[in-house]
Structure 1
C-alpha cells in the first residue's frame, strides 16, 4: 500500500510540475523546431525556468563572449539537492583525494560548441524541461549541469544568416541558398577559433571562463553535443581507437554501458546510428578527451545536419531530415545519459575515486629549463588547469632528454620548472607533457603530438624518479628606474613578451633599433635582435624616459641603461648593422580563398597576443586596393588561391614587393605564388611511389593513404640563427607539421629547414610522407627587388598554442627588413 501511495505521489508531482512550467514551445510562442531560437531568447527561457522552478534550477553566469553575449550554466536537480548544492560539490571533490562519501552523480551536458551545429541549443531547452517534469525521478541522486550554448557568437551568426536567406516556407532542396553558408560560417567563435579544439590550450576567452567552472565540479560524466554531415546517421559512444593509454578500463566500459542504453531507445524508434568509428579519444583538447583526462566519462554525440541542414533538407537516400528530427535525437541521448548516470551513482563515485589515486606512470617528473618568459607563459597555462609545479633546488636530474631523444641529465636551479605526476591532476600532466604519446592506431581524427616542452621551446628531462622542488618564483618586474642621462636603453629579444613590448613602443611613437650583429657593452654580451632605444632617436618626445619606464613595467621587461654607443666588440649603435624598426602598416587577407581558421589565428595573434593594429582586406575587393598604402601583406593558409592570384594580379603583387613591400605567405597560400610565374620558391618533386602501380585491397585503402600523411607531428629542424627571421632562436626549432606539403630550399634565405633526418620526434608521419620531407624548407625569406617574401610552410600560429613559434612571426613583421 505504501509503495502504491509513493507511485501516486510521484505521478501527481510530475503532473503538477508539467502544469506549472511552460514548455519551450509555450514560452517562445512557436513550436520548438519550427525556427531557430536566437541566443537572447534561449537565455530568457532559462531565466524563466530559474524563476518558475527556483527550488530546482539554479542559473549561473560564468562570463561573456567576445561579442558580449552571456555564457551560463544551469544546475538542475531536486529541491533538496539544489539547496545543498555547495555541500554536494565539496563532497564530490573530496573524491580526488579519496575521502568522499558522495551519494550523487554529477552529469555535465555541453551544447553548441560549434555555432552552426545549431540543433544542440534547441535540444537543451527540451531536455531541461523534461528533466523538470516527466523525468524528474532521474534527479533524486543526480545533479545535472547544462551549458546551453558554449559558443553564442557563432550560433547567432548562423541563426541570423539562416533567417536572412531561408525560403518561406523552407526549401529542402540541398542546392538552395539556405543550405550554403558563406565563407565565415557560424562554426567558430568571434576570432574564428574552433572552441572544441581549445579545451587544453585555453587561447580563447570562452574556454578560459568555462574551465574555471568545470574545475570546480569535475563531473562524473561530460557530453559534448555536435553535428556532422547531413547524410550521416547519429554517432554515440563507445568511441573509436585510438584511446589514449591513460584511459581506464572503467571509462571504456561505461561508454559501452551508455551506448547500449542509447541504442535501446534508437532501436525502438527505428533510428539509425553508429559507434566505435571516426571519433577517437586521443588529442587532449576536445570536449570529450579533456574531461576524460580529468576523470570523467567524456563523450561526443554527433547528429547529422550541421550548418547545411537548416529547418529541413533532402538527404541522398531521398528522406527529409528536419530540425525536429535532430532535436529528438539529441534530446533522447541527453536524457538517456542522465538515466544511466542516475542508475549507476555508486559505481561512478567509486571509480572516480580510483581515477585520482596515484598512478605508477613511467615518468614521475618533468624538469624544464629555458627562456624565462616562455617558462612564465607555461606556468600561466598550468595555473588555469590547476596543475601544481615547483622550482629546482640544485643538483642533477637524469632521464629522457627531449632535445637529444636519448637518456641524459640536466642541472636544476631556482629558474628550473618541475612538474610531477604525483598530484591531483597527475594524469593530465602525463598527457600534456609526455615526450611522445603512445598511438594504438595511426588513423586519428586530429593531431598526434602536442608535448608542452616542445610547444613552449623549453629544454626538458622526463625523469622516472620523483623530483622534489621549492616554490617557483614568478618574476615579471620591469624597470623601476632608468637613468635619464643615459645614451640608450637596451633590451633582449627572446620571446612574445619582448614582441609585445616592442609593439607597444612603436604605437606610442617611440623609435626602436635592433642589432644585426652580436655586441658587447660594459662587459655584457647582447645577441642579434637586441633592442636599442636611444635618446637621440626620441628627443622630440618630452616625457620619453617616463614613457619608457611605464611601458617597461607594464610588460615586465627589464632594460639596461648604456652611457655610450661605443661598443667593446661588435657594431656601434650608429652602424648600418643597427637598423631602425619601422612602424609597419599591416594588411591581412580574408575571405575566400583563405581558411577561416587560419585567418582567425592571425587575427587573434594581432589583436589579443601582439596587440598591434591590422587592416583586414577581403578577397572580394582586394584587387581594387592600392597596396602601396601597406608595408606588409599576410596571406593566410587556404585553398583555391589560383583564381584570386591570376597572372595579372600576381604581377601586381610582384611589383609591390619589388618596390619595398613585404609579403608573408603561409601554408597552402605558398603554392599559389610558386613556379615560373610567381616568386623563387618551388614545390618539392617526390619520386613516384611504386605502390601506386600495385593493386590495393579495397578495405585496406585508408591504411595505404595514411602512408602519405602527417597527422600533426613534431619535427626537429635546423635553424640559421644569424638570419633576422630567426633572431631569438638557437640552432634548432621543433616545428609542428600538419601535412606533407614540401618545398625545396631557397637559393638564399633558407632559415629553418629539415635535412636528412625526416623521422618525427613525436607524433605520426607516414613512411612516404617522411620521404618528401628530406631537404625541405620550413621557414625562409626571399629578397625580391627592394622587398621580401617570407615563406612559412609550417604554421607557427596553429590554434594559438605553439608558443615557441610565435617569435618567428614577430620577426617576420619587425626584424626582416
Structure 2
C-alpha cells in the first residue's frame, strides 16, 4: 500500500508539472514563429523541459559539431515508461535477435538536417510541448526521440545571416535581400557537406556521433523534416518510385497508412499537399532510406519555404507564407506520425521482428574482398560504425560473380580475404551497400544510382550465392604491430597504395622529414616496390638530429611498416641516387572558394585536406582572388562549379597560364574544365555530342519529355576506366579504376597525357546512364595532365572525392599534390 501511495503521489506531481509546463512562446518571450530561435536558445528550452519533467523527458547529449555546438536528443514517454526506459530499449533491441516482447513503439523525429530549412527546429519545440500536454495519451505506448537540430552549425549560419539582412519587421517581397542567401548558405554543415546524404558514408562528425545513438535505439519509425522550394505545397509519404527491392510490403503499406492520417488533418485545414512524387527510396544515405534499410518506416516530410522564405514571403499564388504556417504544418505531421505509431504499436513491433528474423531471399549471401590491407582497414572502419560484422576466410576457392569482370569466376581466398555476409542482423544493409548493381525500377531518381562499396574502396571482390566460411575472431592484417626501424640504416622504404600511406607522408613532411619517391618500380630486399614508393634516407635528413626518433614515432602513430635498407643500391631498377628518385617537395596548397565554385565540391576538397589527409590548405575567395600573389603557392585547386564561365575571363586565364608556366601546379575539377580551354587557355577541349540521329527521331510528347531528357544524363553510374600506372598521378593504382560518373560532360586533351580514360564502347558496370550520354563517352578523359612551361595542369573530369566516400579515388588527389612534378 505504501508503494502504491508513493507511486500515486509521484504521478500526481508529474501531472501537475505537465499542466504548468511553459510553452516555447512563454519560455522564449516571443510568439513562436515571430522570430527565429538561435540554437543555444533551443537547447535552453529542451533543458528547461527536461528539468521541469524529469520523470518524462531525458536529455541525452551525444557530441559536438565542428564549431563546438552541442548535439542532443530528447527521449520522452509516459512516466511509467520512462521509469523503465532502459529495460524498454533493451527489450526492443532483443527483437532484432528474435527474442524480446516489447509492445512500445519507438518513433524518432529528426529536425533541421539542412540548416537553412529552418522551420524544423522551431517545430521541434512545439512538438515536444504538445506531446507532453495536449497529446500525452500518445505516449502511453510510444517512446519518442526528438533530435531538435542535426545541423546546428548550418542553422546558426542561416539564422545569424537572416538577422543581419532582414527588414523590420520583415519584407514579403522575395527579391529583398533577406530572401537571397549568398554562396555560403546555411544548408550545409561546417565543411559544407550535405548531412542528409551522409547517413551511410559517415564522413562527418555529426553523422558519426548520431549513428551511435541510432544503433542504441533502432526506431520503428524515423522522420526527416525538410523544406523545399517556397512555391511548393507540403510533401509527405508515401514516397515516389524507385523503391529499393529490399523494402518490404509492410514498409510500403505503412507509409500509405501514415500518409492517409496526415491527409485527414490537412484536408480539415484546407492545406495543399502531394505524395508519391520526386522523393524516392533508393539511394541508401538519406535520412529516410538508411533507417528503412535498418527495418524502420523511414520518411521525408517537405514543407515549402527553405532559405528563401524567412519569416514571411509572398509566393507565386499571391498568398503570404509565414514561419507560423510552416511550423503548423510540420507540427501536424509530427504529431500525426506519433498518433499512428501509438495506434499500431503492436503491429510495428511484430513487423520489426519479422524484418530481422524472417527469411531473407537474397541472391548473394557473401562478399569476399581481397586487396590492399589498408583499403580493407578503411572499409572495416566504416563497417564497425554500422555494426556490420565481417570475418576472415580460410584457404579455399570461391565461385561467384566477379566485380572486376562482371562475369562468374573463381577467387582464391586465404586468411587475408575479408568476408562480409548477409547472414547477420544488418544483412539487409549489407545487401544494399555491397550488391554489384542495385535493381532500378525507375530511371527517374533523386540521386546517384550506384555506390557499391567494393568499387568505392578499390577491392578485388566476389559476390557468392553461398555462405563463405569465415572467422571473425582472427586478428586483422592491419592489427599486426609494424617492427621498429633499424637505427643507422641507409634508408627506409614504404609502399604507396592508399590514403593511409598519404596521411603518413603528410605527417612526415609536416614534421620536417625529407622524403623521396621512386618514379619507377624497383626490386630490393626480396620485394618489388611499385612506382611512388616512399624512400626516406639518412643522408637527406642529416640536418635533423632527432630524425630516427621522430620517424619511429610516426611509424607507430600510423601503424606504417617500413623496410630498412643498408644501401642505396637496388637489385634491379633505379638506385636511390638516380634522377628517377626525386625529392617530394613540401607543397603550399590553396583552393578557390566563392561564387564560381560549388559549395559541395569546395567542401569536399576542404574536408579532404583538413580531416582526411591532415595537410594545411589556404582558402582564397573569388572576391579578392585578383589581389592574391599566386607565386606564394605551389598548388591551386579549382573545385567543380558552374560559375567559371564568367570567372575565367581572358585576364584570369592569362594569369593562371603564366603562373603554371613559372612552375605552378593547377588542379581543375568538373565544371572548371569547360572554361580553361579556348584560344586564350589551355589545351583541354569539350567533346561535342553526337547529334546525327536527332532529326530522324519522333519528338516525345510533353508528358514524356522528362523521360526523354534522362537519355542524355548519367545519374551517378560506375564505369570501368583504363589507367596508365606509370603516370605520377596514377602511382599506387593498377591498370583499371572504377570511377563514379555524375554527368555526361566529356573532354579530350590533344597532346596531353591521359592518366585514366574510358574506352571505345564504355558501358556502366552499375547504375543508370542514358543511351545518348553513353555514346559521347568513348575515349573521353577521366583524369589527365598537361605540361605547360615548368608547371602543369591536372584535369579531373570525374570527382574522386565525391561526398568523401569514394575511397579509392582519393589517392589520385594525393598524387596530384605530392607525386606529379
The interval holding the TM-score normalised by the smaller chain is: over 0.9
Query: In the alignment, is residue 695 of structure 1 matched against residue 696 of structure 2?
Result: no
Q: Aligned-pair distance for 1:14?
A: 11
Q: Aligned-pair distance for 1:518?
A: 1.0
Scaled by the length of structure 1, what TM-score is found?
0.98
Q: Aligned-pair distance for 1:244?
A: 0.1
Write out per-residue CA displacement over residues 637-684 of structure 1, whole angstroms, 9 at most, x where no aligned residue.
001112221101110100000000000000111111022221011111
Q: Aligned-pair distance for 1:686?
A: 1.6
SS in 2 for 1:584: coil
Write out per-residue CA displacement over residues 486-536 of structure 1, whole angstroms, 9 at most, x where no aligned residue.
111100000001000000010111100000111112332111000011111
Whole-angstrom CA distance in 2 between matches of 1:39 and 1:106: 26
Whole-angstrom CA distance in 2 between matches of 1:654 and 1:249: 59
Whole-angstrom CA distance in 1 between matches of 2:645 and 2:111: 38
SS in 1 for 2:685: coil
> Which residue in the other structure is 1:264 paired with?
264
Q: Aligned-pair distance for 1:476?
A: 4.1
Whole-angstrom CA distance in 1 between matches of 2:246 and 2:760: 34
Q: Aligned-pair distance for 1:62?
A: 0.5
Whole-angstrom CA distance in 2 between matches of 1:517 and 1:611: 27
Query: In the alignment, is residue 531 of structure 1 matched against residue 545 of structure 2?
Result: no
Q: How does 1:704-723 map to 2 (within 5 A)?
A: 704-723=708-727
> Which residue in the other structure is 2:6 paired with?
none
Whole-angstrom CA distance in 1 between matches of 2:789 and 2:169: 58
Q: How does 1:522-671 map to 2 (within 5 A)?
A: 522-671=525-674
Whole-angstrom CA distance in 1 between matches of 2:64 and 2:681: 45
Whole-angstrom CA distance in 1 between matches of 2:752 and 2:620: 30
Whole-angstrom CA distance in 2 between matches of 1:669 and 1:477: 44
> Which residue in the other structure is 1:764 paired with?
768
> Which residue in the other structure is 1:4 paired with?
none
Whole-angstrom CA distance in 1 between matches of 2:559 and 2:639: 31
> Which residue in the other structure is 1:396 paired with?
397
Give the alignment partner of residue 473 of structure 1, picking from 469, 472, 475. Answer: 475
Q: Aligned-pair distance for 1:50?
A: 0.2
SS in 1 for 2:183: coil
2:154–2:188 CA contact under 8 A, matched in 1: yes
Q: Aligned-pair distance for 1:482?
A: 1.7
Q: How does 1:286-435 map to 2 (within 5 A)?
A: 286-357=286-357, 358-435=359-436
Give the alignment partner of residue 729 of structure 2, picking from 722, 725, 730. Answer: 725
Scaled by the length of structure 2, what TM-score is found?
0.97
Q: Aligned-pair distance for 1:696?
A: 2.1
> Which residue in the other structure is 2:148 paired with?
148
Give the alignment partner of residue 785 of structure 1, picking from 754, 773, 789. Answer: 789
2:14–2:53 CA contact under 8 A, matched in 1: no
Query: In the alignment, is residue 171 of structure 1 matched against residue 171 of structure 2?
Result: yes
Whole-angstrom CA distance in 2 between matches of 1:250 and 1:791: 48
Q: Aligned-pair distance for 1:479?
A: 4.2
Write out per-residue CA displacement over residues 557-594 of structure 1, whole angstroms, 9 at most, x where no aligned residue.
10011111111111111111000000000000001111
SS in 1 for 2:766: coil
SS in 2 for 1:805: helix
Q: Aligned-pair distance for 1:414?
A: 1.0
Q: Aligned-pair distance for 1:757?
A: 2.8
Q: Which one is further off, 644-653 or 801-810?
A: 644-653
2:18–2:53 CA contact under 8 A, matched in 1: no
Query: In the alignment, is residue 812 of structure 1 matched against residue 816 of structure 2?
Result: yes
Whole-angstrom CA distance in 2 between matches of 1:71 and 1:523: 52
1:477–1:558 CA contact under 8 A, matched in 2: no
SS in 2 for 1:536: coil
CA RMSD in angstroms, aligned pairs only: 1.4
Q: Which one is further off, 696-705 or 637-646?
A: 637-646
Q: Aligned-pair distance for 1:744?
A: 1.6
In structure 2, the CA distance between the partners of 1:24 and 1:750, relative to structure 1 (3 Å rule), is: same
Number of matched pairs = 808
1:478–1:552 CA contact under 8 A, matched in 2: no
Whole-angstrom CA distance in 2 between matches of 1:746 and 1:632: 23
Whole-angstrom CA distance in 2 between matches of 1:57 and 1:524: 62
Q: Aligned-pair distance for 1:756?
A: 1.5
Whole-angstrom CA distance in 1 between matches of 2:700 and 2:383: 47
The answer for unaligned runs of 5 or more in structure 2 is: 1-8
The answer for unaligned runs of 5 or more in structure 1 is: 1-8
> Which residue in the other structure is 1:5 paired with?
none
Whole-angstrom CA distance in 2 between matches of 1:402 and 1:508: 40
Q: How does 1:77-156 map to 2 (within 5 A)?
A: 77-156=77-156
1:478–1:554 CA contact under 8 A, matched in 2: no
Query: In the alignment, is residue 504 of structure 1 matched against residue 507 of structure 2?
Result: yes
